[in-house]
Structure 1
Amino acid sequence: MDVSVLFLAMPQLSRHLDPSPTAALWILDSYSFVIAGLLITMGSLGDRIGRRRLLLIGATIFGAGSLLAAFAGSPGMLIAARALMGFGGATLLPSSLAIISTMFPDSRERSRAIGVWTAAFAGGAAVGPIVGGLLLHHYWWGSVFLINAPVVLALWFAASLLPADSRDIDSAPFDLLGVLLSVAGILGVVYTIKHVALAGIDATTIVIGVAGVALLAWFIAHCSRAEHPLVDLHLLRNPRFAVAICTTLAAMMSLAATTYLVNEYLQSVTDRDPLGAAVLGIPMAATVCVFSLGSATIVARVGLRRAFIAALLVCAAGMLTLQGTGVHDGLWAFLVGSAIAGVGYGTAFSLVSDVAVSSVPPERAGEATGISETSFELGQALGLALLGSLAAIVFARTLDPTGPAFRGTLTDAITAAGGDGRLVDAAKSAFLTGMHTALGTAAVILLVMAAITAAVLPREEQRSAAD
């Protein structure tokens, strides 16, 4: 709910805080980057100190960050508040999914429960923009963060319904070096990608990029040698688990870029208010919800391998259908394309979560789900950094292909047009060109991932899953 509301609030937030294009992406990305860096750590921590305890600690931190974000007076303060929310959020996903693995040891019941868990994401995506649209219609942009407060309070009151804390009795020390290497490496690489895309290459960017890659290489080497590594690389040798992680990255890259760009399209290109844009997003949220609940049935009928491949192909079909959107027409393409993509996303994300918790013993569920959810959040961050930056580059170059690249947003370009209808239409058309390029690239990534899945997953997986 929180993520979907922020996408909706970005145009209004940008008008009030006036962030630079780089700062605007960091407002969106800081949350995901922190989560991506800490999810594995928090999953392992929950296995040791107790999943319910960590869930409540993280919810408190998440709520505090939400309050700071609501009353942020500058882009820098909002970025910091979002990072704090990411720190708290990093405890919520692995803890909740690990609790499910303990509550439902039977594989069929667990698959259904994970479908419900995944559908909760779609429910939040559907309800969040409606609530956020109403808030933005009547109040300031910061009100969208305050909706987290009652959810956190409800979690505290409902915590007594959860089973007693389960944990891993292993008292092995934390891999602090692994934590530092993973966080620093991820941030370094993603910062380099974002900076090069928006501002070009300079000496500082080269140094940070090389350092980031080196730190990630060191992290991998460290995990392969350490007695108690942060990431058990043996999990990634399982073809099902490896495909699930790569599927998450590809799907979340495309979904994050799509959500960000189409909300800008609906509000700034078609001139709809936040509530009107939110209502148009319901078909996609509904299909995600329905097909995440039905993913277990799909696997039982066609097998895990075919389900993974079909989910990726359907997502790509949705991205390609969105190419039909236009400045003055093409709303049908948005509604149909987003609904089709929702079918694939709902199926894929449920499959990924199921594979994550079924690949390891219950006492290590936090570690496995931490890896899975790290790919989820990192995919979102990379989608905004890579595909979002690609859309921004094409937009800037389309506005003036011969002059210096335009560094502003679509809102800046419309404001600079000064009410000239021809220039406004040109700016909107340039934005659509960038959006279509980014979503077309996302479709290619999904198709490539579908081909890799078909080649890597053995056909026997289909029969075993069906059995």
Structure 2
Amino acid sequence: MSAAPPVSVSSIPAPPADRRTWIGLAVLMLPVLLVSMDFSVLYLAMPTIVASLDPTATQQLWILDIYGFMIAGLLITMGNLGDRIGRRLILLVGAAVFGGASVLAAFAPGPEALIAARALMGLGGATLMPASLALIANMFPDSRQRGRAIGIWTSAFAGGAAIGPVLGGILLHHYWWGVVFLINVPVLAILFAIGLAILPEFRATSTAPFDVLGVILSLLGILPAVYAVKAFATAGPSPQAIGAALFGLAMLVAFLWHESRAAAPLLNLRLFRNATFSACLAVALVGMMSEGGIAYLTNTYLQSVLGHDVLAAALAGLPMAVTIAAFSILAERVARLIGPRSALAGSAALAGIATIGLLALGTSSSLWIFMALTAVAGIGFGIQFALVTDIVVGSVPPKHSGAASGISETSFELGTALGLAVLGSVATAVFLADDDGHGFADSLGETLKQAAELGGAGDAPALAAKSAFVDGLHVAALAGGSTLLVLSAVVYVVMRGSRSA
């Protein structure tokens, strides 16, 4: 009788996750929810912060931007650090920093203290996101369950971005501005109480020295680049913005050169030889660029063109948040049904078509048109964001999943910054070009303020400014949607022959 053929380790199915593991996933959703909320909630609190702390215009920009700068610049570093010292450890340390900085921000006596506290919050946030995502890769070895878990994780991020303005609006209606930071504390207390008992620890066994030079070069490259992008978006080209862009680009080139030669690189460039890996990162970058830029412009559209208040505008954004969250969870099932290639390419195409559909909006459109179009776009964004994260994290060995998640999240953060800069600048350029002798200011809000001071004589300039802003929104939506459609075709070609993630 012939011997049975040997069974390879890879052919043995991974054990399914137990109830304790799913409880751990619920705990990991908490920090992600907070990080995404803090991206959006501060926009509502800024008017009262300005009235209380009297920051300069430059200080206002730093209060808003330093948080995102720190997260974008440190995600890859903190993902690698968590791989080495322990993902649960760095998650809890980051939560402690985030919680302590939230208290400092809530009771900041001046703008300088608030900027410093927001920087510390960014430092903590940069550890929370890659650590939580990397732990999911360890906790769910079964690829199907891991895809579902990452979809739930993605839905928490989308939910936080949607809940932030609504919750912030309600709290700011009753309390002082510091409450938007204090809401982080009880949530992080739950994370500590349950996380220590539920979450597993994991660290890589590498003995190679940590890539300190890579960390320095990455920060010198990413931080000036993100600053330049935001500076271009808010004030247009300037010597400072151009200088920062050139310096950041030079440092990024030096970073890539160093990483190609480092013994234990911070960024494993060999991952990018995988066309699917690179295509997924492109989807993350372009998808967030389109979603972030259009979300910023449509928020202005809802309030300044249609005349809705802040809370009503936030509620109008809920349908999109709901579809993003729901289809992030369902993304794994969609990919199983039609294949990752068709799911990823199709979701990018759907998001692109719905974004182009915003051309239907006018100066007096019904709110349901906006809500329907953005809800459809949310279906596409939810599927593609979850699949991108799952494919990127699943394409590397578990010991490197922290670094891979850092790369993925950095693409999302840079995409958001580019969306505000590129699409925001395009819309502003169209807005100013449509000025037919009315004397528009640099923004729609300032133009409407000047028109209101003119009384009845300002009605015509106000109407013209609203129409010009809608024209700018149309061009930005066409640009963002068309880019998604092109990328959809590229992904479909690049991932040819791939049926499984």
* TM-score of the pair, normalised by structure 2: 0.84
Q: Does 1:37 align with 2:82?
A: no
Is 2:86 aligned against 1:50? yes
- Tell me whether 105-114 or 262-271 shows the greater mean CA deviation: 262-271
Match of 2:302 in 1: 266
For 2:226, the equivalent position in structure 1 comes to 190
Letter in 2 for 1:10: Y
Aligned-partner Cα distance in 1 for 2:262–2:78: 19
Q: In the alignment, is the contact (CA less than 8 A) between 1:52 and 1:95 conserved in 2?
A: yes
CA contact (8 A) 2:48 2:177 kept: no
Q: Do 2:69 and 2:223's aligned partners in 1 also have CA atoms closer than 8 Å? A: yes
**How many Å separate the matches in 2 of 1:322 and 1:145?**
34
For residues 204 and 134 of structure 1, do their structure 2 counterparts lie closer, same or farther at Cα, with a shift above 3 Å needed?
closer
Deviations, residues 197-222 of structure 1 (Å, cap 9, x unaligned): 55454544443332221111111111
For CA contacts below 8 A with separation 6 or more, give which structure has more relative contact order. 1
Q: CA deviation at 1:36?
A: 1.6
> Cα distance, 1:8 vs. partner?
5.9
TM-score of the pair, normalised by structure 1: 0.90
Query: Residue by residue, what CA displacement relative to the aligned partner does 1:373-419 show, whole Å, maximum 9, x if unpaired?
Result: 1111111122222222333333344346797x733x43322222214
In the alignment, the residues of structure 2 paired with residue 277 and residue 209 of structure 1 have an alpha-carbon distance, to the nearest angstrom, of 34
Q: Alignment partner for residue 344 of structure 1, among 366, 376, 380?
A: 380
Contact 2:438 2:461 in 1 (8 A): no
Aligned 8 A contact 1:32 1:380 in 2: no
User: Which residue pairs with 2:182 in the alignment?
Assistant: 146
Shift of 1:367: 1.0
1:320 corresponds in structure 2 to: 356
1:406 — aligned with what? 441
Helix, strand or coil at the partner of 1:460: coil
Question: How far 1:57 sits from its partner (Å)?
Answer: 1.1
Distance 1:312 1:73, change over 3 A: farther
Q: Can you list the C-alpha shifts for 1:231-251, whole angstroms capped at 9, x where unaligned?
A: 001111112211111110011
Matches within 5 A, 1:267-286: 267-286=303-322
Deviates further, 116-125 or 284-293: 116-125
- Structure 1 residue 117: deviation in Å? 1.2
CA contact (8 A) 1:33 1:377 kept: no
Match of 1:293 in 2: 329
Q: Tell whether 2:434 aligns with 1:434.
A: no
The structure whose Rg is larger is 2
Of stretches 44-53 and 445-454 in structure 1, the one that deviates more from structure 2 is: 445-454
| Alpha-carbon displacement from aligned partner over 1:175-196 (angstroms, at most 9, x marks no partner) | 1111111121122233334444
The correspondence for 1:156, drawn from 192, 196, 200, is: 192
SS of residue paired to 2:434: helix
Query: Which residue number corresponds to residue 424 of structure 1?
Result: 462
Change (3 A) 1:176 1:344: same
- Give the conservation status (yes or no) of the 8 Å contact 1:49–1:167: yes
CA shift, 1:11, in A, is 5.8
Q: Do 1:70 and 1:142's aligned partners in 2 also have CA atoms closer than 8 Å? A: yes
Q: Separation in 2 of the partners of 1:442 and 1:19?
A: 34
CA distance in 2, matches of 1:37, 1:257: 20
Matched pairs, number? 461
Letter in 2 for 1:53: L
Question: Structure 1 pair 6/172, CA: closer, same or farther in 2 (3 Å)?
Answer: closer
Give me the whole-angstrom Cα distance separating, in 2, the residues matched to 1:85 and 1:360. Answer: 29
1:331 aligned residue (362, 367, 370): 367
**Is 1:93 matched up with 2:129?**
yes
- 2:497 is the alignment partner of 1:460: yes
Stretch of structure 1 that moved more, 372-381 or 139-148: 139-148
Q: CA deviation at 1:310?
A: 0.6
Kept after mapping to 2: 8 A contact 1:5/1:129: no
* Counterpart Cα distance in 2 of 1:69 and 1:129: 18
Give the counterpart letter for 2:377 in structure 1. Answer: A
CA offsets 1:333-380 (integer angstroms, 9 cap, x no match): 311111011001110111011112211121211111111111111111
Conservation of the 8 A alpha-carbon contact between 1:323 and 1:333: no
Question: 1 CA distance for matches of 2:160 and 2:241?
Answer: 37
Change over 3 Å in CA distance of 1:82–1:437 after alignment to 2: farther
What amino acid is aligned across from residue 441 of structure 2 in structure 1? F
Which letter does structure 2 place at the counterpart of 1:163? L
Q: Of 446, 449, 454, which aligns to 2:487?
A: 449
Match of 1:214 in 2: 250
| Secondary structure of residue in 2 paired with 1:294 | helix
Q: Is the 8 A contact 2:353 2:485 kept in 1?
A: no
CA contact (8 A) 2:359 2:478 kept: yes
CA contact (8 A) 1:22 1:198 kept: no
How far does residue 148 in structure 1 lie from its aligned partner after superposition?
A: 1.9
Change (3 A) 1:142 1:423: farther
| Aligned counterpart in structure 1 of residue 216 of structure 2, from 180, 186, 202 | 180
Partners in 1 of 2:38 and 2:306 — Cα distance?
19
Q: Is the 8 A contact 1:414 1:424 kept in 2?
A: yes
* 8 A contact 1:7–1:259 mirrored in 2: no
Q: 1:72: how far off?
A: 5.3
Structure 2 CA distance for aligned equivalents of residues 173 and 401 of structure 1: 63
RMSD: 2.6
User: Which sections of structure 1, spanning at least 5 residues, go unmatched?
Assistant: none
The reply on whether 1:66 has 2:66 as its aligned counterpart is no
Distance 2:205 2:45 in 1: 49
Evaluate the alpha carbon distance shift between residue 11 and residue 114 of structure 1 in structure 2; reply closer, same or farther with a 3 A threshold: closer
User: Which residue of structure 2 aligns with residue 10 of structure 1?
Assistant: 43
| 1:202–1:339 CA distance, 2 compared to 1 (3 A) | closer
C-alpha distance in 1, partners of 2:79/2:49? 37
